[in-house]
Amino acid sequence: MHRNHRVAVLTATVLTGTLLAAGCSSSSGGKKSEEGNAAVSAGKATTPRMTVAMVTHASPGDTFWDLVRKGAQAAAAKDNIKLVYSSDPNAGNQASLVQNAIDQKVAGIALTAAKPAAMKDVVAKATAAGIPVVGFNSGVGDWKKLGMLEYFGQDENIAGQAFGRRLNQLGAKHALCVIQEQGQVALEARCAGLRKGFSGKTDTLYVNGTDMPSVKSTITAKLKQDSSIDQVVTLGAPIALTAVQSLSDAGSKAKLATFDLNKDLVKAVQDGTVEFAVDQQPYLQGYLAVDSLWLYKTNGNFSGGSTAPVLTGPAFIDKTNVDTVAKFAANGTR
């Protein structure tokens, strides 16, 4: 009885909600304001169907990794490849996923080596089983040693240095490098590179990237603690967008620049709240990693002669070139 009553109330509420939805439409924004955007598509190869595994160290729900995956899927669709995507931020688990792909006898493996030592054994096993392994995104210093065929990505340290030199040009004196995941190799490398390339002072700040209100107030706290900070550097697009609010909360006049892009960040660059963004083109990384395996399998090609990595970044996006990127970002592919 008790329960029936509750169910009735629930149903009534849901119904009311639906009715409201019909009546209370928004006159601005929303789905209706979206421009018709065509999905990226091109022809399809006639080569025999094959399976490629992509194994990354991404944590679920990250906008950056979503782009990597979309790029990989685009290449797979073109190349008549069945893409098996999996990820785990824990290096041991990631190695198990690679082993899983070897067991499935896939035609090729694309993987990120954020913790190269953990990948050593499985990469050797894959190579022994005759499965080509391509590295991307992380592990620029180790892919050769691990015996991978080729590598697509950005050298995080070099990107950090380039970022620092750009800040020198812009006249910054004291930078704050905000790391959203303490101990993450790629993020630490960016801040280390920044410190190297930047002639001013660089401070590091750790924030908890899974809790935005905490990110917001921690950056605010740091800006208040040290008012000489005139440049905030974030290492991910969502963190940058939150830092915009911290700057206004703290009443700070510091400038803001970031690594990585997403569509909201593109808008922020357009309206000037974010000075510039360094893009390593995650879509391109995913695309090339899969497409290169197809080329290797069908024509024996590989990039960089097994000695040099293929760099996908750093590409600087600022007010001068943001508009060319904007329409792709709105599609969720850049």
Q: For residue 113, which of 128, 131, 133, 130 has the smallest C-alpha distance? A: 133
According to CB under 8 A, which one of 53, 54, 57, 66 is a site residue for another protein?
Answer: 66
36 binds another protein (CB under 8 A): no
Q: Which residues in the 232-261 window bind another protein by CB under 8 A?
A: 238, 241-242, 245, 249-251
Q: Which residues in the 178-207 window bind another protein by CB under 8 A?
A: 182, 204-206
- Nearer to another protein by Cβ, of 147 and 332: the residue is 332
Cα within 13 Å of Cα(125), Cβ side = 16
According to CB under 8 A, which one of 56, 94, 157, 218 is a site residue for another protein?
Answer: 218
5 binds another protein (CB under 8 A): no
Enumerate residues 6+ apart whose C-beta is below 8 A from 248.
none
88 binds another protein (CB under 8 A): no
230 binds another protein (CB under 8 A): no
Q: Which residues in the 277-296 window bind another protein by CB under 8 A?
A: none
Token pair belonging to 128: 């022994």
Distance in angstroms (rounded) separating the CA atoms of residues 175 and 231 = 5
Distance in angstroms (rounded) separating the CA atoms of residues 121 and 266 = 40
User: Residue 40, Cβ neighbours under 10 Å: how many?
Assistant: 16
Q: Provide, rounded to whole angstroms, the least separation between the CB of residue 29 and another protein.
A: 4
Q: Provide, rounded to whole angstroms, the least separation between the CB of residue 156 and another protein.
A: 19
* DSSP string covering 91-123: HHHHHHHHHHHHHTT-SEEEE--SSHHHHHHHH
Contact range with another protein by CB under 8 A, out of 2-10, 42-50, 145-153, 161-169: 2-10
Distance in angstroms (rounded) separating the CA atoms of residues 71 and 290 = 9
Q: Provide, rounded to whole angstroms, the least separation between the CB of residue 103 and another protein.
A: 24
38 binds another protein (CB under 8 A): no
Q: Provide, rounded to whole angstroms, the least separation between the CB of residue 88 and another protein.
A: 13
